[in-house]
Amino acid sequence: MSEAAVYQDVAPRVEAALRSHFPTDTVDVWAGYEGRVHVLVVSKAFNGRSEKERQAMLWDIMKRELGPDADLVAFAIAWGTDELR
């Protein structure tokens, strides 16, 4: 499968998985290196949590919802809304 095809297959599923948990928050998904997926989620659910906790939240969701395809996400950023002030 080409890099573009990998991204086109996985990106909508990544976005749907994250939006199901963060329906009113910012969820941005874009193409990364070699068809991998990059993700940014900004949510008040991350306020007051450590970077490790925020990353664990994102990766737990992606692994649960996407199974082995979660490995196609190369980069995930989780920010609390309090960090944007």
Whether the CB-CB separation of 60 and 48 falls below 8 Å is answered with no
Task: Compute the distance between CA of residue 79 and CA of residue 2 in angstroms, rounded to an integer.
Answer: 31
pLDDT in tens, the chain (85 residues): 787 777 888 999 999 999 999 999 999 999 988 889 999 999 999 999 999 999 999 999 999 999 999 999 999 999 999 988 7
pLDDT at 35: 84
Residue-range domains of the chain with CATH: 3-84 (3.30.300.90)
pLDDT at 81: 96
Would you call 49 helix, strand, or coil by DSSP?
coil
pLDDT at 39: 97
Interstrand relation of 73-80 and 37-43 (parallel, antiparallel or unpaired): parallel
pLDDT at 3: 73
pLDDT at 67: 96
Task: Compute the distance between CA of residue 37 and CA of residue 44 in angstroms, rounded to an integer.
Answer: 23
Taking alpha carbons only, the member of 12, 14, 25, 10 closest to residue 64 is: 14
